[in-house]
Each structure stands twice: as C-alpha cells, then as structure tokens.
Amino acid sequence: MTNTVIRTNGSCINKLIKRLEKQIGKEEANKLKETAIEVVKNCVRVYSENFDFGDVGENSTGLVSKPYQGLNSIPNETTGLIYGRVQSGKTNTTIAALALAYENNFRCFIVLTSDNTWLGKQTASRFNNQIQDGPVIFDWEAWKKDPVDFAESKVIPYIKDTGVVLVTTKNVAHLKRLLIVLKTAKVKNFPTLIFDDEADNASLNTNEAKQSKQGKNAIPDSSTFEQIHSNIRQEIANHIYIQITATPQSLLLQKLSQPCKPQFCAALPEPGDSYMGGELFFSENSKHSVIIDAEEINQIKKQKGAINPGNKWIIPEGLRLALCFFFLGSIYKMLSSDDEDDTYSFLVHICYKQDIHTNLEKLISNFVINLDQAIREKSSQADYKQAIKWLEQAYKELQNTTDKLPQLNQLIDGLKIQLRRAIPTIINANNPDKEPNYNPGMNILIGGNRLGRGVTIKGLMVTYYGRDAKQKTVDTVHQHARMYGYRPQLKDVTRLFLAEHILEAFRSIHEADEAMRQAIGDDIHNIQIQPVWIGGDLKPTRANVLDPSVIGVLAPGKLVFPQSPAYKKQEIEDSFHKIESLLINYNDDEKYYEVSIDFIIKVISYTKNYYVPYEKWEDKRIIKGLKDLQAKGMDKGRLNVRRGIRNKRQGLDMPRKDPFKWGGFGFGSGEWLKEAQKKYPDVPTLIICYQKGEKNKGWDDHPIYLPMLVLPKQKFVLMFNYDES
C-alpha cells in the first residue's frame, strides 16, 4: 500500500470550512474536514495504484497520463464506500470531500442523487451555495436541451482550468444526456470522481435475481444500472466511484464481480456529539422511546371513517399521549426560545396508503379542535377535566428528560393561544407540495413514502411510527428513521412512539449497523467479506438486487460443519497434535464444558477444511462470525468432545463422505445437537468429533478431529456472500 501524499489545504476547502464553522460550529466543521482528508487520501491512493501516480494528489497534473486499457470493463478496486449514518450530514461530508479532491486535481466531479427532482434540486443548491473558489457547478437542467452545446460551451472551457461539477438525478433520460456531455467534452482525459448518493437505492441492478434464474441473455440489466455502470463509468474509465449511504447491506452482499460491490471504505464518518441516533432511541431503558399498544395502529389502519363517530374524545391512547406530549413540549420550547419563528414538528408515519392518511388527518384535526375548546373552557366542565388529565400524563412523560420545566398551568396558558394553529398536513402524492411547508410553531405532518429516504423533517420533535411490513428489509426500515439527526436544542423533548415489536426490529437493525461498522473498521481497505447482523424477521435488503444463489445465512440455533475436511496424514498430522494438546483434559463425552469463545476459535483454527462452493462453513467466515459474537458481548460458549463411548473412547468410526452427503447431523448423532440446542441455546457450542480415520472407511489411517458448531438461538442471523475470493 502506497504512502499517499495529498494537499490538505487550499482556498476552496478553507473557505468551505469557514462557512461550515458558522453553520454547525468549529468542532463539527473540523471533524468534517478530517473525514474529507480520509476520503481523499483513499481516493488518491486507489486512483494512483490502479492508473498512474502523479495525475492526482500533491504536485499532480490533473490530467490522465495513462488511459485505462485493462481487461475488465471497469477497473478493479475503484468502487469505494462512505458509510455514514442516517440523517448525519452525509451531504456536507460529500461537499467537503469534493472541495478537498479539487485541491488535489480531480477535475471532473459527477454527483448522482436519487430520482427525486425536489431532492436533486436541493442537493445541487447546497453544492452551489457552499463551494466557492473551486469547480463550476451545473445541474441536469443545464444540459437538458442541448448536451452537445453545453459540453462545448461550458465543460470544455472550464474542466482543465477550474474543473466542473455535474449534478444529476438518477433519471435514465438525464443520465443518457450526461453521457453525451462526457463524450463530447472528452472528460475521459481528466481524473474523475463520482459520488453516488444513496447508492443502494436506484443504482443497483434490479434484474439481478431474474438474471440468476434466466440468464443475462434473456434478461437485460436494469436501465439505471446500465447507464451508470455500463455507459458512464466505462466512458470515463480513469475514475473513482464513491457510494454514499447509511444502509449498505445490498452493496456489501453484491457478488465481487459486480461493479456495485464496494472494494474499499473511503470513510466511516462519525457524527458529532449532538447527533441523535440509534443509541438514543434503541438502547435498553431509553427514555426517548415510548411503547404503545400495537393494536391501536391496526385500529387506525382498518378504520375507513372517523373512529367511533359521535364520540369526539375517542382517539387511540398512544396517539393521544404523543400529541399531548408534542403540544406541551412545543410550548415549553417556545417559552424558552428567542426566535418566534422556530419550527416544531410532529411526524405520523404508519402506512403508505392515502386513504389512511386522510383518515388520520380527520382524526387528529378533530382531537386538536376538541382539546383546544376544552382547555379554553368552551365546552363542558367534564371535557375540561378530561383534557387536563391527559395533559398531566404528557407533562409527567416530559419530566423524564426535561429539567427546569415550567408549571403545567403555564404551559397550558401558552397552549390556549397556540393550539388552534396546529393544523395537520398530509404529505403524499396527492399533495401538490413536493416538500412540507412549515409554519412557525407547531406542525403536524402525516405521510408515507414521500417521507422516506433522504427527507429531513425540520424541527422534528415527536415521531409516531407504525410502518410495519410483514417482511421487513433492514435497509428500507432503517431509512425510515427520520427521528435521527442533529437537533440538540430539541433532544430533551424528543420522543419516538411505537409498538414494542417494531422497537425490537429497530433495535436489531441498530445492533446490525453497529456490528457492520465494527467489522469494516477492522480493515477499511478490504471489505470483500463482511457480515450483516439482522433480526429473525428481517431481511437485509430487496431480494431483486441480489443473486440468491450466492447469498448464504448462518441461522440461529442451526448446526454448521465443513463439507470437505482435509484428511490426508501429511496435511493434518501437525495440527492434529495441537488439537490433542488443547483437548487433553476434556475427557467426558457427555459433558458440555463451559469455555471461552477464544478457546473455541483456537480449536477450530487447527482444523483444516477445504471450501466447497455454496456451503455455509468456511474456516475464516466461521471464525469471523464467532469474533462478531464476542464483539456483541458473548464471551463464553460450550465444548463437547466426542471420542466414542461404545468404542471405549478410542474414536468414532464414521465413514468419510462426499460433500453434502453427510446428512443433517454432520459427523455424529442428532441427539448431541438436540442436547446442545436444549441446554445451551444462548451460546455457541462446538461439538468436536474424534474419528479413528481408518483407510477402509475412506480416510488415511490417521485419526482426525472434525468440528461441528451449533449456533446460538439469538435474535440475529449472520448473512454473507458466497462469492468470495
């Protein structure tokens, strides 16, 4: 690996950091710069190793000296990953990395955004506003009418001088015109950096699963994938392609031959101290998550009209508490804020169906009206007492995380003025507004898919979440975590209301995310084989973007064992004696000894097994899985050594078999497996079988130890890609 030298300062990056210091603070801005340095160092290193030294980096030319002419259509190792966190400022990270890459003579920058015009415009605007004294920035509208003229009049004059940034949504028509621009301007002669925002969303081959069954000749690549990877990336071969996402499951599980498979991690940016993420909401005994009855979500979804019409007070208990909490929390913040135009938002996200959004709008509007009239004593005394009781419950919840809270009657006085302005707004395809129009004060937002990936909710305080697909995918559910983000001034009044089983799903995803980050952190330059931790009812990603023939699962509570153990005397003699010395004191065939995970790993490391395509056992993979168990706090397991009671512990006499002919119980009895599963379900159990290894049984007249591992019956599975080098 080369020692990469880059420029870490320059007018463009320095001006950007000064601007960011005013927006997010000096500490956060400097952290962004550190991440940008990491990204650019990795990009310059990978570019130099794959193409040539001196094109980019310190004292570089900014020109392609050796056009790529390799065997592969896209150069190996040129796909990298910026693995950010949901709502953690990944766009700022990208902008900072681009500004620093400009200082190191990358001359063309392509920024791919999701196929959403509003978000695309928002991204282009942010690049334009933040970057000064650097490359010239254009979006897809600039080359939409005449890409040839745009290339000749705008790109060619600037690319060698200042460089250019081309921002486009992942719309096929826009990408086709971008390709014309790149060809006309001969951008292939300039070092290029491609940033693909939400790369796991639209850039993958959505026909991958179909192709695995019917073949590529029968099923073409999906259109967006083809435009990016078969056309654009091949046209400008001397490039680095950086994927940006908080949910890389679908990327990490791609086949190694896929251009979407990240080969190196450009950065694992850590958010600042003011970031609110999974740890806040999904740690044990979190004060910022409130459990609601799952049945009330179903009640709302099933109801076609107003809930119990005629009774104005009937509203599901959890939703009522969430709203009352939001009202009081908003008033508390209004009383303590110097800015009368501050925004406070309540998000309801339970379903994508528009009729349910309409029903929710009526339900919440009705509650707001009745509560407003009750606290202003414009209805009955009974209504007033009921309203005060509900607000007292919300006040008590507010006290769990809020210091120096004003008296309840003071908050209610403020609520009497503000509550009638809390008018619910539906954000879905029927709404002509592509983004929420926020009012000063309280905002109640109801919606579905339009409130998904990439959308930031301004001033989000309270989330009422009930999106509950029968088959959840990790990356999709994780992208619904709108409650994540930077809102330090609202942390004490931030809440997530959800059913317990959905909380557990989010908790599993949070644990999965942390485990993946730890795994990648072991070696950010090599992420070819990485696990994905997911809960039992969760899949990592959409099935259509993966080849199912190369995806494997180490499932909870299951037995795994090698299909092709080495058995020749010369291959196993040395390691056999090492295992013998380790197991010398474990003499009871019926006993399951408590041992450390480290000890289990050591025993397995001395066994030798040949990998058979599509089998679950692969020595390094199994050891990696055990180490990940350790990382999750599981440091003990069980060891059962089977030498053969009937044979007076002289060894078992099972014949050697071909791969996948061993049967479901591996090298021994199903009773051993059942006992481990029954007595020790929460830890891994290594059952190691001492076989005589006789020649007439297909062995090599040398005893052998054969490993079988019973996985713990925990709330995760370990997924991997078979297509390993």
In three-state form (DSSP H/G/I as H, E/B as E, the rest C), the secondary structure along 76-113 is CCCEEEEECCCCCCHHHHHHHHHHHHHHCCCCEEEEEE
In this prediction, residue 700 has a pLDDT band, given cuts at 50, 70 and 90, of very high
Looking at the predicted structure, is the pLDDT value of residue 521 above 70? no
Per the prediction, the chain carries an average pLDDT of 87
| pLDDT for the residue numbered 631 | 75
pLDDT, tens digit, 9 for 90 and up, residues 155-173: 999 999 999 999 999 999 9
In this prediction, residue 314 has a pLDDT band, given cuts at 50, 70 and 90, of confident
Name which of 352, 469, 473, 371 is nearest 415 in CA terms.
Answer: 371
Looking at the predicted structure, is the pLDDT value of residue 249 above 60? yes
Q: How many residues does the chain have?
A: 725
Q: How far is CA 638 from CA 385, 583, 691, in A?
A: 60, 13, 20
Is residue 663 helix, strand or coil? coil
Higher pLDDT, 648 or 531: 648
The predicted model gives 506-531 an average pLDDT of: 68
State the Cα angle at 230 between 226 and 233, rounded to 5°.
120
Q: How far apart are CA 241 and CA 21, in angstroms?
A: 28
| Structure-block tokens of residue 255 | 């086949």
The CB density around residue 291, as the number of other CB atoms within 10 Å, is: 13
> What is the helix (H) or strand (E) element at residue 498, kind and residue range?
strand 495-499
Higher pLDDT, 399 or 713: 399
Looking at the predicted structure, is the pLDDT value of residue 488 above 70? yes
Query: In the chain, what is the straight-line distance between the N-terminal and C-terminal CA atoms, in Å?
Result: 19
The predicted model gives 518-531 an average pLDDT of: 60
Residue 504, phi then psi, degrees to nearest 5 = -65, -40
The answer to whether 177 touches 149, Cβ cutoff 8 Å, is no
User: What is the bridge-based pairing of β-strands 239-245 and 164-169?
Assistant: unpaired
Range in 56-70, 505-519, 636-650 with the lowest mean pLDDT:
505-519
- One-letter amino acid at 60 equals S
- One-letter amino acid at 575 equals S
Looking at the predicted structure, is the pLDDT value of residue 493 above 60? yes
| pLDDT for the residue numbered 29 | 92
Is residue 518 helix, strand or coil? helix
In this prediction, residue 176 has a pLDDT band, given cuts at 50, 70 and 90, of very high
The predicted model gives 300-329 an average pLDDT of: 76
The predicted model gives 351-380 an average pLDDT of: 89
Chain-centroid distance, C-alpha 92: 18
| pLDDT for the residue numbered 453 | 55
Looking at the predicted structure, is the pLDDT value of residue 583 above 60? yes
| pLDDT for the residue numbered 462 | 95
Higher pLDDT, 89 or 671: 671
State the Cα angle at 275 between 271 and 278, rounded to 5°.
95
Judged by phi (left if over 0) then psi (alpha if -120 to 50, else beta), residue 184 lies in alpha
In this prediction, residue 352 has a pLDDT band, given cuts at 50, 70 and 90, of confident
Range in 74-78, 85-89, 478-482, 561-565 with the lowest mean pLDDT:
478-482
In this prediction, residue 257 has a pLDDT band, given cuts at 50, 70 and 90, of confident
**Which of 150-164, 608-622, 663-677, 711-725: highest mean pLDDT?**
150-164
| Structure-block tokens of residue 366 | 């009705």
All residues at 6 or more sequence positions from 209 whose CB lies less than 8 Å from its CB, including other chains: 543, 544, 545, 546, 547, 548
Name which of 684, 502, 475 is nearest 599 in CA terms.
Answer: 684
Range in 320-329, 389-398, 516-525 with the lowest mean pLDDT:
516-525
Higher pLDDT, 474 or 298: 298
Burial class (CB in 10 A: 0-12, 13-18, 19+), 677: middle
All residues at 6 or more sequence positions from 283 whose CB lies less than 8 Å from its CB, including other chains: none
Range in 197-211, 229-243, 685-699 with the lowest mean pLDDT:
197-211
In this prediction, residue 381 has a pLDDT band, given cuts at 50, 70 and 90, of very high
In this prediction, residue 550 has a pLDDT band, given cuts at 50, 70 and 90, of low
Q: How far apart are CA 12 and CA 101, in angstroms?
A: 10
Range in 154-168, 304-318, 477-491, 694-708 with the lowest mean pLDDT:
304-318
Chain-centroid distance, C-alpha 64: 35
| pLDDT for the residue numbered 532 | 59
The answer to whether 268 touches 519, Cβ cutoff 8 Å, is no
Burial class (CB in 10 A: 0-12, 13-18, 19+), 229: buried
In this prediction, residue 2 has a pLDDT band, given cuts at 50, 70 and 90, of low
| pLDDT for the residue numbered 310 | 44
Looking at the predicted structure, is the pLDDT value of residue 406 above 90? yes
Q: How far apart are CA 461 and CA 326, in angstroms?
A: 7
The predicted model gives 578-586 an average pLDDT of: 95
Q: How far apart are CA 360 and CA 315, in angstroms?
A: 10
DSSP secondary structure letters along 320-332: HHHHHHHHHHHHH
Range in 178-182, 250-254, 582-586 with the lowest mean pLDDT:
250-254
pLDDT, tens digit, 9 for 90 and up, residues 19-73: 999 988 899 899 999 999 999 999 999 999 999 999 999 999 999 999 999 888 9
Q: How far apart are CA 282 and CA 536, in angstroms?
A: 17
Tell me the β-bridge partners of 195: 111, 242
Looking at the predicted structure, is the pLDDT value of residue 377 above 70? yes
The predicted model gives 667-675 an average pLDDT of: 90
In this prediction, residue 280 has a pLDDT band, given cuts at 50, 70 and 90, of very high
All residues at 6 or more sequence positions from 67 whose CB lies less than 8 Å from its CB, including other chains: 188, 189, 237, 238
The predicted model gives 647-669 an average pLDDT of: 88
Looking at the predicted structure, is the pLDDT value of residue 368 above 90? yes
The answer to whether 206 touches 225, Cβ cutoff 8 Å, is yes
**Rounded-to-10 torsion of CA 526, 527, 529, 533:** 150
